[in-house]
Structure 1
Amino acid sequence: MTHSIPFPADAPVHPLDHWLSPELARVSPPEAPSRLRQLADDQGALAAGWSGAIAGGPVLALAGAFFSVMSGNPATALILVPLGAVLTLLGLFGWNRVRSILPKTDKVLITRGPGSARGGIGMVSFLAAIVGAFLFPTLPSAASKGAGEVTVLVGIYVLMLALLTACIVVPATVMGRARQSFRLRVQNNPGLRRAVEEDLAGWRDPHGNAAYGPL
């Protein structure tokens, strides 16, 4: 006589690959909440912050080099170039770390910047136009003092655009691709996939009967 072992009543109804399906994500409204989307969005928000550091480091170093060349004093470069390198290295370390583990979701992450590349570009374009409206009318006066003055003003404007891109466009792009990027990493990173599968096995909606996915 054989006895069947009953399937645990609280076991996940669907495997992880079901919830990771791009087809399932396409038929679900993007704003519909799910545990898998929460993990992806929170991880994306953390990675976005570190991506700003990665992109901001070279801008900092470039600013140091520019002002040192324009002033003839290497002190600025000696300070800002190493700081930029350290910022980039810290950003890379944090970036790799947060993307390889599941984020803690017991606290709500609040992001106030744009959440897509298009939104980031639009915001930077708006800010650049405002700054340009104040800066460019001063170019004729600067030109009367010499080409160096014009170079400084244009250089400052370009550096400002680079900084805005590093701090706004790059993080916004990372956040906008958070769910697609999370799906790829879960599929290709055994450690992250194992962590998500463990979360799927143990997670239950504390407020109702919401499903684990889609992504």
Structure 2
Amino acid sequence: MATVQPAPLPQPTHPLDHWLDPGLAQVGPPNAPSRLRQLADAQGTLSAAWSSAIGMGPVLILTGAFITAMTGAVAVVLVLGGLGAVLLALGLVFWKRVRSALPDTSRTLISRRPGSARGGLIMAGFLAAVLGAVLAAIIPGAASRGTSTVIGLAGAYVLFVSLLLAGIAVPSTVQGRARESFRRRATTDPALRSLLEQDLATWRDPVGNASYGPL
């Protein structure tokens, strides 16, 4: 009995370079859905999360060092420094892993941070300004308690601003540049390009007639 061979998948209408062309993305509406945009946005959300871990690791290390310098409690720098080092290492490992693979787009990824560098800086700047105003009001009274109190408040404020930058501004920038970064790496990274070529050859819109691109 003859074996029935599965019908071959139809070849893509356009090559990958066609969908990656920046000019094509400028022709249509920026919010029009496509497979490439879905992949880039999902990967950008994951990369943004791990970029926050990369940024917060050094902030924890600096916080531990500052508290130890102010109080003499060596255990603080050991604990916070260790946590910061682990967070930094995990962030670097998973950052690289996320950017070298195509994300699972069947899951909805929700991010509550701003989606652009400008939005992230505005939010971080607003929160920093609010706390700065509070400190400006209490520092004159704190100065009477000694220089160490003022140094402690100033140091805490600097660390708080660093935390805002690492937790809000940096990941928002990564998220906002997700498509641009994805396009650049798709043309320069052979491994990622190979994954996209395979995905282009096999992907079909499960619910409609959406195209593979533009990006």
- For residues 20-169 of structure 1, the aligned pairs below 5 Å read 20-169=20-169
RMSD: 1.2
**SS where residue 107 of structure 1 aligns?**
coil
Post-superposition CA distance 1:71-121 (Å, at most 9, x none): 122121111112111111100000000000000011111111101110000
Give yes or no for the alignment of 1:205 onto 2:205: yes
**SS where residue 164 of structure 2 aligns?**
helix
Amino acid at match of 2:72: G
Distance of 1:20 and 1:163 partners within structure 2: 36
TM-score using structure 2 length? 0.94
CA positional deviation for 1:148: 0.5
Distance of 1:154 and 1:79 partners within structure 2: 23
* Structure 2: 5+ residue stretches without partners: 1-7
Q: Paired residue for 2:186?
A: 186
Post-superposition CA distance 1:118-140 (Å, at most 9, x none): 00000001111222222221101
| Partners of 2:9 and 2:202 within 8 A in 1 | no
Q: Paired residue for 1:14?
A: 14
* Structure 1: 5+ residue stretches without partners: 1-7
Percent of aligned positions that are identical: 60
Amino acid at match of 2:104: K
Aligned length: 208
TM-score using structure 1 length? 0.94
Amino acid at match of 1:95: W
| Partners of 2:120 and 2:172 within 8 A in 1 | yes
Amino acid at match of 1:201: A
